[in-house]
Amino acid sequence: MKKTSSPQNLYSSQRKQKSAFQEGDTCNGTSKNNHKSHPALKYFRVAVKKFSGIFTIFLFSQRKAASKSDITDGSRNKKDQIRGVSSPIDLSTGSYSNSSSRHKYSNASSNAASGQVGTLNFSFEEISKATNKFSPDNKIGEGGFGTVYKGRLKDGTLVAIKRAKKNTYDKVLSSEFRNEILALSMIEHLNLVRLYGFLELGDERIIVVEYVGNGTLREHLDGKHGNVLELAERLDIAIDVAHAITYLHMYTDPPIIHRDIKASNILITEKLRAKVTDFGFARVTTEDSGVTHISTQIKGTSGYLDPEYLRTYQLTDKSDVYSFGVLLVEMMTGRHPIETKKPNSERLTIRWAMQKLKEGYPVLAMDPKLRRNAPSTMAVEKVLKLAHQCLAPLRHSRPSMRKCGEVLWGIRKDFRDSAFPSPSTSHHSANFPRRDSKNRDTPFGIEDRGNFKFISA
């Protein structure tokens, strides 16, 4: 394996070295084997042994794992059958640190109702009660991992309860289950779905997460939730997602690569803000500055997969940037990444949209459901240009997620300034979105500041 130079902004130099590699995975760099003796790893191993068979739910954040193919299809209504290259175990031997920092792995849990750190143990009976014995009436979805139910805890908290399919439960699924738990237990961010806890008992694997009740971004782009998403709202959502991934890449310790950024993994709140979910494929990285990538099996969703990762099996945070580029194109065009029913020239949405951009007619790639006017076409063009950078074939040419967030913030600001020049006339403007979103004065405005509450300037 070739050693590559360190990508810009890959890891914060301030972070302490912490390694959480798994058996079957390798890392490139000087401290490849450091994890073997890391005390945090021992801690996690003990923790894993303990939690199998115990009715303990760690309150925190979420995910589902996958009995599905390792690569799912980004095209409409279809699951791809492409398998991963091999099947090392993800995070089944990952590590908890005993740090008290909320950025770091923690064995603490939080109170679902208050959202504060604490502990709460769920019993199977409690989960069963919350879902009215897993009543079909409470079923809200079905994914590769299993069935998703809406539930209400006894303190009134609404939750989504993900129950793994028993017949598909196996070692890999178990590792994916733990993978998600481990990744999610580390995070706390406004734009990431929160894990309230999990239960692993016998053949039951259940994850309890924050309920986000307004569907997925993909459903919104498909117009399944009434109003079409306005451009201003799409920009807000794109910024939310950029912040969420920036947080994973730069402000968790160690960093996390999501690996499955796609429109159906973006849940939408009632206020049309975004929460990123689905951490079954997430990988915890290392902070060793000598390590530039992790070599691992390919996972993700076709249509969103970084071609360099596909070719080399080397995973870096820039793979998420690539997927984010696909997502940006999806949001501007309204199309799925792979459109099987379109003519050949339009089947791969990014190729088609980038071609329109190159020809100087990005407006032709713009979602027909969006209103066309000078500010909106200009904003779409700028977003497509950013997407073009994210989609660079070589990861070193792609911007960091933080940079993407900053660029998008500037695009949104320019769009608002030109579409709604005066507050006194803005409410009467034909361009004004039906559902106004919050004002933000800076890239880290009031709400954004919440997103970045852990960042010290």
Ligand X SMILES: Nc1ncnc2c1ncn2[C@@H]1O[C@H](COP(=O)(O)OP(=O)(O)OP(=O)(O)O)[C@@H](O)[C@H]1O
Q: Which residues here bind ligand X, judged by CB under 6 A? A: 64, 68, 72, 140-145, 148, 160, 162, 193, 209-213, 216, 264-265, 267, 277-278
DSSP 3-state of 106: coil
C-alpha atoms less than 13 angstroms from C-alpha of 63 in its C-beta half-sphere:
29
| Residue 149 φ then ψ, to 5° | -120, 150
Q: How far is the CB of 262 from ligand X (least distance, A)?
A: 8
**Nearest CB to ligand X, comparing residues 278 and 339:** 278
DSSP 3-state of 30: coil
**Nearest CB to ligand X, comparing residues 38 and 64:** 64
CA distance 415 to 380: 10
Q: How far is the CB of 212 from ligand X (least distance, A)?
A: 4
Question: 198, 207 in Cβ contact below 8 A?
Answer: yes
Strands (E), 68-223: 71-73, 109-110, 117-118, 139-142, 146-152, 158-164, 195-201, 204-210
Q: How far is the CB of 336 from ligand X (least distance, A)?
A: 13
Q: How far is the CB of 357 from ligand X (least distance, A)?
A: 29
User: In the structure encoding, which two tokens stand for residue 318, read together?
Assistant: 């820039």
DSSP 3-state of 111: coil
- Residues linked to residue 276 through DSSP beta bridges, in sequence order: 192, 266
**How many beta carbons lie within 10 A of that of residue 376, not counting itself?**
20
Does residue 260 carry a catalytic annotation?
yes
Catalytic site residue from 260, 288, 306, 317: 260
CA distance 181 to 202: 17
Cis amide bond preceding 343, omega within 30: no
**Nearest CB to ligand X, comparing residues 187 and 267:** 267
Q: How far is the CB of 178 from ligand X (least distance, A)?
A: 17
**64 known member of a binding site:** no
**Nearest CB to ligand X, comparing residues 247 and 415:** 247
In what helix (H) or strand (E) does residue 352 lie, and over which residues does it extend?
helix 349-359
Which candidate, 230, 224, 223, 216, places its Cα nearest to that of 366?
230
**Nearest CB to ligand X, comparing residues 137 and 441:** 137
Q: How far is the CB of 291 from ligand X (least distance, A)?
A: 29
**Nearest CB to ligand X, comparing residues 198 and 444:** 198
Question: 46, 98 in Cβ contact below 8 A?
Answer: no
CA distance 261 to 193: 13
Which candidate, 400, 88, 405, places its Cα nearest to that of 257?
400
**Identity of the residue numbered 143:** G
Question: Which residues define the annotated binding site?
Answer: 166
Report the binding-site residues for ATP: 166
Residues assigned a catalytic role = 260
